[in-house]
Structure 1
Amino acid sequence: MTQPLFKEIAIENFTDLPAVVNAGANRIELNDNLAVGGTTVSRGVMSEAARYTAEHHLPLVTMIRPRGGNFVYNDTELKIMEADLFSAQELGVDGVALGALTADNRLDTEALEQLLAAAGGMSVTFHMAFDQLSTSVQLSALDWLVDHGVERILTHGGPLNTPIEAHVDHLTELVKYAAGRIEILPGGGLTTNNADQLAKTIGVTAVHGTHVLDF
Protein backbone atom coordinates (compact mmCIF):
# COMPACT_ATOMS: atom_id res chain seq x y z
CA MET A 1 0.00 0.00 0.00
CA THR A 2 1.38 3.42 -0.97
CA GLN A 3 2.17 5.69 1.98
CA PRO A 4 0.17 8.94 1.82
CA LEU A 5 2.21 12.04 1.04
CA PHE A 6 3.40 13.84 4.19
CA LYS A 7 2.24 17.46 4.06
CA GLU A 8 3.80 20.34 5.97
CA ILE A 9 1.42 23.29 5.81
CA ALA A 10 2.67 26.86 6.06
CA ILE A 11 0.18 29.11 7.84
CA GLU A 12 0.08 32.74 8.92
CA ASN A 13 -0.55 33.24 12.64
CA PHE A 14 -3.12 31.15 14.51
CA THR A 15 -6.16 31.91 12.33
CA ASP A 16 -6.10 28.88 10.01
CA LEU A 17 -4.48 26.45 12.46
CA PRO A 18 -7.67 24.61 13.56
CA ALA A 19 -8.81 24.28 9.93
CA VAL A 20 -5.53 22.82 8.64
CA VAL A 21 -5.33 20.44 11.60
CA ASN A 22 -8.87 19.22 10.89
CA ALA A 23 -8.03 18.88 7.18
CA GLY A 24 -5.22 16.44 7.95
CA ALA A 25 -1.97 18.42 8.02
CA ASN A 26 1.01 16.30 9.09
CA ARG A 27 3.14 19.18 10.33
CA ILE A 28 2.65 22.95 10.70
CA GLU A 29 5.10 25.70 9.79
CA LEU A 30 4.02 28.79 11.72
CA ASN A 31 4.73 32.22 10.23
CA ASP A 32 3.83 35.85 10.31
CA ASN A 33 3.90 37.90 7.08
CA LEU A 34 3.72 35.13 4.48
CA ALA A 35 3.60 37.85 1.82
CA VAL A 36 7.33 38.43 2.41
CA GLY A 37 8.14 34.75 2.75
CA GLY A 38 7.40 34.41 6.45
CA THR A 39 8.76 36.02 9.62
CA THR A 40 8.63 35.10 13.31
CA VAL A 41 5.24 35.27 15.00
CA SER A 42 4.69 36.95 18.35
CA ARG A 43 5.41 35.01 21.53
CA GLY A 44 1.67 34.89 22.24
CA VAL A 45 0.87 33.31 18.87
CA MET A 46 3.75 30.87 19.28
CA SER A 47 2.53 29.88 22.73
CA GLU A 48 -1.07 29.23 21.67
CA ALA A 49 0.01 27.38 18.53
CA ALA A 50 2.38 25.17 20.53
CA ARG A 51 -0.40 24.37 23.00
CA TYR A 52 -2.92 23.59 20.26
CA THR A 53 -0.63 21.40 18.18
CA ALA A 54 0.54 19.50 21.28
CA GLU A 55 -3.09 18.75 22.16
CA HIS A 56 -3.55 17.37 18.63
CA HIS A 57 -0.22 15.46 18.65
CA LEU A 58 1.03 17.40 15.65
CA PRO A 59 4.60 18.68 15.21
CA LEU A 60 5.06 22.45 15.02
CA VAL A 61 7.87 24.26 13.22
CA THR A 62 8.10 28.00 13.77
CA MET A 63 9.86 30.42 11.44
CA ILE A 64 12.81 32.27 12.97
CA ARG A 65 13.27 35.31 10.76
CA PRO A 66 13.26 38.86 12.14
CA ARG A 67 12.21 40.64 8.92
CA GLY A 68 11.54 40.23 5.23
CA GLY A 69 14.17 40.92 2.61
CA ASN A 70 17.56 39.27 2.40
CA PHE A 71 19.08 36.72 4.75
CA VAL A 72 22.14 38.74 5.74
CA TYR A 73 21.81 39.55 9.43
CA ASN A 74 23.69 41.96 11.68
CA ASP A 75 24.57 41.27 15.32
CA THR A 76 21.38 42.86 16.66
CA GLU A 77 19.21 40.78 14.34
CA LEU A 78 21.06 37.62 15.37
CA LYS A 79 20.40 38.48 19.04
CA ILE A 80 16.69 38.84 18.21
CA MET A 81 16.73 35.45 16.46
CA GLU A 82 18.51 33.87 19.43
CA ALA A 83 15.86 35.25 21.80
CA ASP A 84 13.10 33.87 19.56
CA LEU A 85 14.83 30.47 19.51
CA PHE A 86 14.96 30.45 23.32
CA SER A 87 11.24 31.33 23.39
CA ALA A 88 10.41 28.51 20.98
CA GLN A 89 12.36 26.06 23.09
CA GLU A 90 10.73 27.27 26.32
CA LEU A 91 7.23 27.02 24.80
CA GLY A 92 7.72 23.44 23.62
CA VAL A 93 7.93 24.07 19.87
CA ASP A 94 9.20 20.96 18.07
CA GLY A 95 11.26 22.59 15.34
CA VAL A 96 12.41 25.83 13.79
CA ALA A 97 13.06 27.07 10.26
CA LEU A 98 16.00 29.42 9.87
CA GLY A 99 18.81 30.49 7.57
CA ALA A 100 21.62 33.02 7.34
CA LEU A 101 23.79 34.02 4.39
CA THR A 102 26.80 36.23 3.75
CA ALA A 103 26.59 39.24 1.44
CA ASP A 104 28.06 37.14 -1.38
CA ASN A 105 25.36 34.48 -0.97
CA ARG A 106 27.20 31.77 0.87
CA LEU A 107 26.27 30.14 4.16
CA ASP A 108 27.05 32.46 7.08
CA THR A 109 28.56 29.61 9.04
CA GLU A 110 29.46 31.77 12.04
CA ALA A 111 25.90 33.06 12.39
CA LEU A 112 24.47 29.60 11.78
CA GLU A 113 26.63 28.01 14.47
CA GLN A 114 25.35 30.65 16.91
CA LEU A 115 21.72 30.01 15.92
CA LEU A 116 22.05 26.22 15.94
CA ALA A 117 23.51 26.35 19.43
CA ALA A 118 20.52 28.44 20.56
CA ALA A 119 18.13 25.93 18.94
CA GLY A 120 19.24 23.53 21.65
CA GLY A 121 18.16 20.21 20.20
CA MET A 122 15.00 21.33 18.40
CA SER A 123 14.59 20.00 14.87
CA VAL A 124 16.07 22.52 12.40
CA THR A 125 14.98 23.23 8.83
CA PHE A 126 17.21 25.40 6.65
CA HIS A 127 14.60 27.42 4.79
CA MET A 128 14.47 28.79 1.23
CA ALA A 129 17.52 30.97 1.78
CA PHE A 130 19.09 27.83 0.29
CA ASP A 131 17.77 28.90 -3.10
CA GLN A 132 19.83 32.10 -2.91
CA LEU A 133 23.02 30.03 -3.00
CA SER A 134 24.53 29.50 -6.43
CA THR A 135 24.17 25.91 -7.60
CA SER A 136 27.97 25.63 -7.57
CA VAL A 137 28.05 25.89 -3.75
CA GLN A 138 24.78 24.17 -2.87
CA LEU A 139 26.23 20.68 -2.54
CA SER A 140 29.04 21.78 -0.21
CA ALA A 141 26.45 23.82 1.75
CA LEU A 142 24.31 20.71 2.03
CA ASP A 143 27.30 18.81 3.43
CA TRP A 144 27.90 21.55 6.00
CA LEU A 145 24.26 21.46 7.10
CA VAL A 146 24.42 17.66 7.43
CA ASP A 147 27.59 17.91 9.53
CA HIS A 148 25.89 20.42 11.84
CA GLY A 149 22.77 18.39 12.50
CA VAL A 150 20.25 20.24 10.34
CA GLU A 151 17.34 17.89 9.64
CA ARG A 152 15.93 19.21 6.37
CA ILE A 153 16.32 21.76 3.59
CA LEU A 154 13.24 23.57 2.34
CA THR A 155 13.83 24.42 -1.31
CA HIS A 156 12.04 25.44 -4.49
CA GLY A 157 15.00 24.26 -6.51
CA GLY A 158 15.45 27.68 -8.13
CA PRO A 159 14.03 31.22 -8.15
CA LEU A 160 10.64 31.36 -6.44
CA ASN A 161 9.13 33.39 -9.29
CA THR A 162 9.53 30.41 -11.62
CA PRO A 163 7.34 27.26 -11.61
CA ILE A 164 8.62 24.40 -9.47
CA GLU A 165 8.17 22.13 -12.49
CA ALA A 166 11.14 23.97 -14.07
CA HIS A 167 13.39 22.78 -11.25
CA VAL A 168 12.49 19.10 -11.04
CA ASP A 169 15.87 17.98 -12.40
CA HIS A 170 17.79 20.05 -9.85
CA LEU A 171 15.57 18.94 -6.97
CA THR A 172 16.08 15.33 -8.05
CA GLU A 173 19.84 15.91 -8.07
CA LEU A 174 19.70 17.34 -4.54
CA VAL A 175 17.70 14.35 -3.30
CA LYS A 176 20.19 11.93 -4.83
CA TYR A 177 23.18 13.81 -3.42
CA ALA A 178 21.59 14.04 0.03
CA ALA A 179 21.22 10.25 -0.04
CA GLY A 180 19.10 10.20 3.10
CA ARG A 181 21.60 12.23 5.15
CA ILE A 182 19.24 15.23 5.20
CA GLU A 183 15.66 15.60 3.99
CA ILE A 184 15.02 17.65 0.86
CA LEU A 185 11.58 19.25 1.32
CA PRO A 186 10.19 20.79 -1.90
CA GLY A 187 8.06 23.91 -1.52
CA GLY A 188 6.71 26.87 -3.44
CA GLY A 189 4.13 26.30 -6.16
CA LEU A 190 2.97 22.92 -4.93
CA THR A 191 -0.79 22.39 -4.81
CA THR A 192 -3.28 19.62 -4.23
CA ASN A 193 -3.26 19.14 -8.02
CA ASN A 194 0.47 18.64 -8.58
CA ALA A 195 2.00 17.65 -5.23
CA ASP A 196 1.66 13.88 -5.50
CA GLN A 197 3.05 13.61 -9.02
CA LEU A 198 5.91 16.04 -8.36
CA ALA A 199 6.87 14.25 -5.16
CA LYS A 200 6.96 10.94 -7.00
CA THR A 201 9.06 12.41 -9.83
CA ILE A 202 11.52 14.12 -7.49
CA GLY A 203 11.75 11.12 -5.19
CA VAL A 204 10.46 12.55 -1.92
CA THR A 205 7.73 11.52 0.51
CA ALA A 206 7.01 14.97 2.00
CA VAL A 207 6.11 18.39 0.60
CA HIS A 208 5.62 21.91 1.95
CA GLY A 209 3.20 24.67 1.02
CA THR A 210 0.13 26.75 1.74
CA HIS A 211 -2.00 24.99 -0.89
CA VAL A 212 -1.04 21.29 -0.64
CA LEU A 213 -4.17 20.63 1.43
CA ASP A 214 -7.80 21.60 0.94
CA PHE A 215 -9.15 23.37 4.02
Structure 2
Amino acid sequence: MLKEVCVENFEGISTLIAKGAGRIELCDNLSAGGTTVSHGVAAKAIEYCHSKNIKVMSMVRPRGGDFVYTNEEIEIMKLDLLHLKQLGTDGVVFGCLNHTGWIEEEAMAALLELAEGVEVTFHMAFDQIRPENQLDAIDWLVKQGVHRILTHGGPLDSEIENHLSRLQEYIDYAAGRIIILPGGGITNNNLHAISSVLNISEVHGTRIVG
Protein backbone atom coordinates (compact mmCIF):
# COMPACT_ATOMS: atom_id res chain seq x y z
CA MET A 1 0.00 0.00 0.00
CA LEU A 2 1.56 3.26 -1.14
CA LYS A 3 0.85 6.09 1.29
CA GLU A 4 0.86 9.53 -0.32
CA VAL A 5 1.17 12.16 2.38
CA CYS A 6 0.03 15.70 1.74
CA VAL A 7 2.30 18.39 3.19
CA GLU A 8 2.23 22.17 3.00
CA ASN A 9 5.85 22.99 3.85
CA PHE A 10 9.30 21.43 4.06
CA GLU A 11 9.22 20.93 7.80
CA GLY A 12 8.36 17.39 8.78
CA ILE A 13 8.97 15.72 5.42
CA SER A 14 11.96 13.77 6.72
CA THR A 15 9.92 12.44 9.65
CA LEU A 16 7.00 11.48 7.42
CA ILE A 17 9.26 9.57 5.06
CA ALA A 18 10.86 7.80 8.00
CA LYS A 19 7.38 6.79 9.20
CA GLY A 20 6.40 5.29 5.88
CA ALA A 21 5.34 7.99 3.43
CA GLY A 22 5.85 6.49 -0.02
CA ARG A 23 5.09 9.65 -1.98
CA ILE A 24 4.70 13.33 -1.11
CA GLU A 25 1.97 15.63 -2.40
CA LEU A 26 3.31 19.14 -2.07
CA CYS A 27 0.85 22.00 -1.63
CA ASP A 28 0.34 25.18 0.35
CA ASN A 29 -2.76 26.40 2.22
CA LEU A 30 -4.25 23.06 3.18
CA SER A 31 -7.04 24.92 4.98
CA ALA A 32 -8.16 26.13 1.54
CA GLY A 33 -7.81 22.70 -0.02
CA GLY A 34 -4.27 23.24 -1.25
CA THR A 35 -2.59 25.72 -3.58
CA THR A 36 0.75 25.93 -5.40
CA VAL A 37 3.77 26.16 -3.09
CA SER A 38 6.58 28.70 -3.30
CA HIS A 39 9.70 28.21 -5.40
CA GLY A 40 11.84 27.66 -2.32
CA VAL A 41 9.61 25.06 -0.72
CA ALA A 42 9.26 23.16 -4.00
CA ALA A 43 12.97 23.22 -4.77
CA LYS A 44 14.09 22.01 -1.36
CA ALA A 45 11.31 19.45 -0.94
CA ILE A 46 11.90 17.90 -4.36
CA GLU A 47 15.65 17.81 -3.79
CA TYR A 48 15.29 16.14 -0.38
CA CYS A 49 12.65 13.64 -1.46
CA HIS A 50 14.68 12.57 -4.47
CA SER A 51 17.67 11.99 -2.21
CA LYS A 52 15.45 9.45 -0.42
CA ASN A 53 14.05 7.97 -3.66
CA ILE A 54 10.61 9.40 -2.89
CA LYS A 55 8.46 10.87 -5.65
CA VAL A 56 6.83 14.30 -5.36
CA MET A 57 3.45 15.32 -6.76
CA SER A 58 3.07 19.12 -6.84
CA MET A 59 -0.23 20.93 -6.63
CA VAL A 60 -0.97 23.40 -9.44
CA ARG A 61 -3.79 25.59 -8.13
CA PRO A 62 -3.66 29.40 -8.05
CA ARG A 63 -6.19 29.90 -5.24
CA GLY A 64 -8.69 28.23 -2.96
CA GLY A 65 -12.40 28.18 -3.65
CA ASP A 66 -13.98 26.58 -6.66
CA PHE A 67 -12.27 25.01 -9.66
CA VAL A 68 -13.71 27.29 -12.32
CA TYR A 69 -10.79 29.44 -13.40
CA THR A 70 -10.44 32.62 -15.42
CA ASN A 71 -8.19 32.77 -18.46
CA GLU A 72 -5.62 34.64 -16.38
CA GLU A 73 -5.68 31.94 -13.72
CA ILE A 74 -5.18 29.25 -16.36
CA GLU A 75 -2.13 31.14 -17.61
CA ILE A 76 -0.80 31.26 -14.04
CA MET A 77 -1.28 27.51 -13.77
CA LYS A 78 0.60 26.95 -17.01
CA LEU A 79 3.56 28.99 -15.77
CA ASP A 80 3.56 27.25 -12.38
CA LEU A 81 3.36 23.82 -14.00
CA LEU A 82 6.33 24.52 -16.24
CA HIS A 83 8.27 25.91 -13.30
CA LEU A 84 7.60 22.83 -11.19
CA LYS A 85 8.70 20.59 -14.04
CA GLN A 86 11.94 22.53 -14.28
CA LEU A 87 12.48 21.92 -10.56
CA GLY A 88 12.16 18.18 -11.17
CA THR A 89 8.71 17.33 -9.79
CA ASP A 90 7.65 13.78 -10.60
CA GLY A 91 4.08 14.80 -11.15
CA VAL A 92 1.51 17.56 -10.96
CA VAL A 93 -1.93 17.73 -9.41
CA PHE A 94 -4.68 19.89 -10.88
CA GLY A 95 -8.25 20.00 -12.11
CA CYS A 96 -10.37 22.52 -14.01
CA LEU A 97 -14.16 22.59 -14.20
CA ASN A 98 -16.73 24.72 -15.98
CA HIS A 99 -19.97 26.22 -14.69
CA THR A 100 -22.03 23.22 -15.78
CA GLY A 101 -20.29 20.82 -13.39
CA TRP A 102 -18.13 19.21 -16.06
CA ILE A 103 -14.43 19.23 -16.90
CA GLU A 104 -13.15 22.38 -18.58
CA GLU A 105 -11.78 20.39 -21.48
CA GLU A 106 -9.88 23.11 -23.29
CA ALA A 107 -7.98 24.25 -20.20
CA MET A 108 -7.28 20.68 -19.16
CA ALA A 109 -5.98 19.78 -22.61
CA ALA A 110 -3.60 22.74 -22.57
CA LEU A 111 -2.29 21.89 -19.11
CA LEU A 112 -1.95 18.21 -19.95
CA GLU A 113 0.11 19.05 -23.01
CA LEU A 114 2.51 21.04 -20.82
CA ALA A 115 2.58 18.20 -18.28
CA GLU A 116 3.89 15.69 -20.80
CA GLY A 117 6.68 13.63 -19.25
CA VAL A 118 5.40 13.75 -15.66
CA GLU A 119 2.53 12.04 -13.86
CA VAL A 120 -0.81 13.80 -13.56
CA THR A 121 -3.39 13.50 -10.80
CA PHE A 122 -6.82 15.03 -11.30
CA HIS A 123 -7.54 16.26 -7.79
CA MET A 124 -10.72 16.56 -5.73
CA ALA A 125 -12.28 18.85 -8.29
CA PHE A 126 -13.57 15.45 -9.40
CA ASP A 127 -15.97 15.45 -6.46
CA GLN A 128 -17.51 18.70 -7.75
CA ILE A 129 -18.43 17.12 -11.09
CA ARG A 130 -22.14 16.33 -11.30
CA PRO A 131 -22.54 12.78 -9.91
CA GLU A 132 -24.36 11.54 -13.00
CA ASN A 133 -21.35 12.61 -15.08
CA GLN A 134 -18.55 11.24 -12.94
CA LEU A 135 -18.21 7.88 -14.70
CA ASP A 136 -18.05 9.70 -18.03
CA ALA A 137 -15.39 11.93 -16.46
CA ILE A 138 -13.33 8.85 -15.63
CA ASP A 139 -13.51 7.86 -19.30
CA TRP A 140 -12.46 11.35 -20.41
CA LEU A 141 -9.49 11.44 -18.04
CA VAL A 142 -8.40 7.96 -19.11
CA LYS A 143 -8.51 9.03 -22.74
CA GLN A 144 -6.33 12.05 -21.94
CA GLY A 145 -3.69 9.90 -20.27
CA VAL A 146 -4.24 11.12 -16.69
CA HIS A 147 -2.62 8.73 -14.22
CA ARG A 148 -4.92 8.96 -11.21
CA ILE A 149 -7.98 10.61 -9.69
CA LEU A 150 -7.91 11.88 -6.11
CA THR A 151 -11.41 11.61 -4.69
CA HIS A 152 -13.31 11.54 -1.42
CA GLY A 153 -16.21 9.77 -3.06
CA GLY A 154 -18.69 12.41 -1.92
CA PRO A 155 -18.97 15.73 -0.07
CA LEU A 156 -15.74 16.50 1.77
CA ASP A 157 -17.64 17.58 4.88
CA SER A 158 -18.83 14.00 5.43
CA GLU A 159 -16.73 11.07 6.59
CA ILE A 160 -15.06 9.00 3.91
CA GLU A 161 -16.49 5.86 5.51
CA ASN A 162 -19.88 7.03 4.20
CA HIS A 163 -18.64 6.89 0.62
CA LEU A 164 -16.89 3.54 0.37
CA SER A 165 -19.52 2.05 -1.91
CA ARG A 166 -19.23 4.99 -4.31
CA LEU A 167 -15.44 4.78 -4.24
CA GLN A 168 -15.62 1.08 -5.04
CA GLU A 169 -17.94 1.92 -7.92
CA TYR A 170 -15.27 4.25 -9.32
CA ILE A 171 -12.61 1.59 -8.84
CA ASP A 172 -14.68 -1.08 -10.55
CA TYR A 173 -15.55 1.23 -13.43
CA ALA A 174 -11.95 2.37 -13.87
CA ALA A 175 -10.97 -1.30 -14.10
CA GLY A 176 -7.26 -0.57 -13.89
CA ARG A 177 -7.31 2.06 -16.65
CA ILE A 178 -6.62 4.82 -14.14
CA ILE A 179 -5.74 4.79 -10.44
CA ILE A 180 -8.52 5.83 -8.07
CA LEU A 181 -6.77 7.46 -5.11
CA PRO A 182 -9.05 7.80 -2.06
CA GLY A 183 -8.37 10.76 0.22
CA GLY A 184 -9.87 13.18 2.67
CA GLY A 185 -10.19 11.82 6.18
CA ILE A 186 -8.02 8.71 5.86
CA THR A 187 -5.73 8.37 8.85
CA ASN A 188 -3.41 5.73 10.26
CA ASN A 189 -6.33 4.81 12.55
CA ASN A 190 -8.93 4.00 9.88
CA LEU A 191 -6.64 3.05 6.99
CA HIS A 192 -6.77 -0.68 7.64
CA ALA A 193 -10.56 -0.73 7.84
CA ILE A 194 -10.90 1.26 4.62
CA SER A 195 -8.30 -0.72 2.69
CA SER A 196 -9.92 -3.97 3.76
CA VAL A 197 -13.12 -2.85 2.01
CA LEU A 198 -11.72 -1.10 -1.06
CA ASN A 199 -9.56 -2.72 -3.73
CA ILE A 200 -6.85 -0.04 -3.69
CA SER A 201 -3.08 0.14 -3.95
CA GLU A 202 -2.63 3.82 -3.02
CA VAL A 203 -4.10 6.14 -0.37
CA HIS A 204 -3.77 9.85 0.30
CA GLY A 205 -3.96 12.01 3.39
CA THR A 206 -2.24 14.32 5.83
CA ARG A 207 -2.32 11.82 8.72
CA ILE A 208 -1.95 8.41 7.13
CA VAL A 209 1.39 7.62 8.71
CA GLY A 210 1.69 7.31 12.48
Same fold (TM over 0.5): yes
* 2:4 pairs with 1:42: no
- Partner in structure 2 of residue 174 of structure 1: 170
Deviations 1:90-141 (A, max 9, x none): 1110001100000121100001001101112210000000000121000111
| AA aligned opposite 1:163 | E
Paired residue total: 210
Conserved? CA contact 1:85–1:118, under 8 Å: yes
Conserved? CA contact 1:199–1:206, under 8 Å: no
Q: In structure 1, list runs of 5 or more residues that go unmatched.
A: none
* 2:36 pairs with 1:52: no
Shift of 1:79: 0.8
Residue of structure 1 aligned with 2:109, choices 104, 107, 113: 113
Structure 2 CA distance, aligned partners of 1:109 and 1:88?
A: 22
- In percent, how many aligned pairs have the same letter? 49
Q: Secondary structure at the match of 1:57?
A: coil
- RMSD over equivalenced CA pairs, Å: 0.8
* 2:37 pairs with 1:9: no
* 2:74 pairs with 1:78: yes
Structure 2 CA distance, aligned partners of 1:59 and 1:84?
A: 18
Shift of 1:200: 2.3
Q: In structure 2, list runs of 5 or more residues that go unmatched.
A: none
* 2:134 pairs with 1:132: no
- Partner in structure 2 of residue 22 of structure 1: 18
| AA aligned opposite 1:16 | G
Deviations 1:176-208 (A, max 9, x none): 000000000000111111112212211112110
Q: What is the 5 A alignment of 1:121-200?
A: 121-200=117-196
| AA aligned opposite 1:105 | G
Conserved? CA contact 1:190–1:209, under 8 Å: yes
Q: Secondary structure at the match of 2:185?
A: coil
Q: Secondary structure at the match of 1:139?
A: helix
Q: Secondary structure at the match of 1:192?
A: coil
Once superposed, which parts of structure 1, at least 4 consecutive aligned residues long, lie more than 4 Å away?
none
| AA aligned opposite 2:58 | T
| AA aligned opposite 1:62 | S
Structure 2 CA distance, aligned partners of 1:13 and 1:88?
A: 15
Q: Secondary structure at the match of 2:196?
A: helix
Structure 1 CA distance, aligned partners of 2:40 and 2:79?
A: 14
| AA aligned opposite 1:183 | I
Once the two structures are overlaid, the 10-residue window that deviates more, 108-117 or 199-208, is 199-208
Structure 2 CA distance, aligned partners of 1:23 and 1:203?
A: 23
